[in-house]
Amino acid sequence: MEFTEAKKTFINTWGELGLNWGVNRAMGHIHALLIISPHELSADEIMSELKISRGNANMNLRALMEWQLVYRKSKPGERKDFFSAEKNLWNVFKKTLSKRKTKELNPMLHMIKNVQGVVPINEYAEEFNRVIKELEMISSAADKALDKLIQSESNFFLNSFVKVMR
> What are the residue boundaries of the structural domains of the chain, listed by start?
3-85, 89-165
Instruction: Give yes or no for a contact between 137 and 153, defined as CB atoms under 8 angstroms apart.
Output: no
Residue 157: CB atoms within 10 A of its CB come to: 16
Whole-prediction pTM value? 0.78
pLDDT of residue 113: 93
- Give the helix/strand (H/E) hosting 46: helix 43-50
Rounded to whole angstroms, how far apart are CA atoms 26 and 71? 17
- How confident is the prediction along the chain (166 residues), in pLDDT tens digits per residue? 899 999 999 999 999 998 887 789 999 999 999 999 999 999 999 999 999 999 999 999 999 999 999 999 998 998 999 999 999 988 888 888 898 899 889 999 999 999 998 888 899 999 999 999 999 999 999 999 999 888 887 666 666 666 666 6
**CB of 150 within 8 A of CB of 97?**
yes
Q: How many Å apart are CA 13 and CA 17, to the nearest integer? A: 6
- Confidence at residue 22, expressed as pLDDT on a 0 to 100 scale: 74
pLDDT attached to residue 50: 97
Helices (H), 70-122: 89-100, 106-115
pLDDT at 159: 64
Cα separation, 85 vs 72, whole angstroms: 9
Report the C-alpha gap between 129 and 132 in whole angstroms.
5
CATH topology of domain 3-85: Arc Repressor Mutant, subunit A (1.10.10)
Per DSSP, 52 falls in state -
